Chains A and B, each alone.
Chain A
Amino acid sequence: QSVLTQPPSVSGAPGQRVTISCTGSSSNIGAGYDVQWYQRLPGTAPKLLIYANDNRPSGVPDRFSGSKSGTSASLAITGLQAEDEADYYCQSYDSSLRGVLFGGGTKLTVL
């Protein structure tokens, strides 16, 4: 099935570490396609956080990191800050759909 599954929500206290998972299948992440992660702050356009699984664009703090293994990927955020409260989306190409898939999104709450 061509979907990318994320937890609907995660939370953490300031300074803590949180991870957001993204589970795919053999037609997307498991097929070796790169995973990207986007951050969407309320009322703003999405922002590229991680590309090609574990690469940060210039300007993105090193508190954000990505990893990929098998049919899954993860985004880790360390030293959680109030400004990190946002929706996070994973994304990858899917060979069955012959197009790009976004995960359903995860709302991060900073307690």
Chain B
Amino acid sequence: QVQMVQSGAEVKKPGASVKVSCKASGYTFTSYGITWVRQAPGQGLEWMGWISGYNGNANYAQKLQGRVTMTTDTSTSTAYMELRSLKSDDTAVYYCARDRGVVVITGTLDYWGQGTLVTVSS
């Protein structure tokens, strides 16, 4: 069965970086994309970006351009999301999800990770 397992909760200081991992299993990693979504306390879902599991091409939300980098390691079927220059309003639960699009974004996110809480506080 398809599973997306994320790394554990993180506490970071403002200005630091965080890197969240998402290990996929139960499907061919290179046949799908990975999307990252976050939800801040009391807020809605926010799309952060997408990366192809096939060729590593990535597309980031304009709001996060320059601060976020998404990568994949096909040898371990793992996706990574690094967010730099953290601010207090980056405090959120971060989710990875399998996107049915492998060369283009479809937005069809059919399997989700359990979420990773990232807290940014001095």
Contacts and interface: CB of A to CB of B under 8 A. Distances in A.
A98 B59 contact: yes
Main secondary structure of the interface of B (DSSP, over half): strand
Interface string B58-69: 011110000000
Interface string B18-46: 00000000000000000101000000111
A99 interface: yes
B61 A36 contact: no
A36 B46 contact: no
Contacts, number: 64
Interface stretch (A11-19, A40-48, A61-69, A70-78): A40-48
Interface of B: 35, 37, 44-47, 49-50, 59-62, 95, 97, 100, 105-110, 112-115
Given A100-B105, A105-B44, 20 more contacts: A34-B106, A36-B107, A36-B109, A38-B109, A40-B45, A45-B95, A45-B112, A45-B113, A45-B115, A46-B95, A46-B109, A47-B112, A51-B110, A89-B45, A93-B105, A97-B62, A98-B59, A98-B62, A99-B49, A100-B47
For the complex of A and B, the 10 pairs showing the least CB-CB separation, nearest first, are A45-B112, A100-B47, A105-B44, A102-B45, A51-B108, A100-B107, A104-B44, A48-B110, A99-B61, A36-B107
